[in-house]
Amino acid sequence: MPELPEVETIASGLLPMLADQTIEKVTILNDSSVEGRYFALEHFVAGRKITHVYRRGKLLLMDLSIPKEYENELPVPRSEYPLQLAFHLKMSGRLFVYPHETPPARHTRIIFDLSNGNRLFFDDMRKFGFCRAMAPCDFLNWQFWQQLGPEPLTIKTEDFVALFHSRRTRIKAALLDQKVLAGIGNIYADESLFRAGIRPDKPANEISKKDLGLLHVKIKEVLKQAILECGSSIRDYRDAHGDAGAFQNKFLVYGRTGQDCRVCGQPLKTEKIAGRTTVFCENCQK
């Protein structure tokens, strides 16, 4: 599943291709790829200009303008009018811009025809991802959005420590909880914990505040490095230009079950934490 660095990379790649483009038509090819108010996406997104593309947690967001002809009077109540498109890519979702009249591919779920003649495809082989048209009423009613935790790259270290130091759950499970901290998944939790020298199965409340502060520093280092490397490509992930990321070449523990630790040479251990395969070094992570 694309995590914070992958979604950040996709958003920054799409921004110059989509900014100031008007969505002229929305074609929904798979109903289950739409979450929330289907009617809003199908009927009230066309005619809207994309003003910004960015990320929140693992969500990719597109801000939409209100057409000039509707500035004083909207066809629906203002609280119902879409302000954003929110995409969750889940396991295999992709967003690519294609030339005019490019036909949909086998796994294309939603098509957005743009004013410059290009087409934005939301492709999703496994059909787990979704697009949601977000209006003011959605911000109040969408529990997933309301419960998203703070961003790991912008939260202050003292606030990060306060989030975790009283939690009894294992630190890896806490890092994966999007209600606690938004954007981190299996890859970057494993890599950050290794660099901080913290066992992933250690209860968060048994980790010193000093070590929690170090963990926050390492999380930011790992995420920033991964963004510079355009993310990690394991199976399906590609950026907005169709290119693979390169951070997988820097993995120290993730996906290296049974291999030797690159720091101390001892065999890496594997454990299931929060339902996810977790790789760590018993010698380096004490």
Q: Which residues are catalytic?
A: 2-3, 58, 276
What is the rounded CA–CA span in Å between residue 245 and residue 282? Answer: 29
What is the rounded CA–CA span in Å between residue 116 and residue 280? Answer: 49
Instruction: Note the maximum CA span of the chain.
Output: 68
Burial of residue 208 (number of CB atoms within 10 Å: 0-12, 13-18, 19+): exposed
Record the tokens describing residue 103, joined without a space.
């036909």
Burial of residue 275 (number of CB atoms within 10 Å: 0-12, 13-18, 19+): exposed
Place of tokens 């380096």: 284
The three-point CA angle 168-170-171 to 5° equals 105
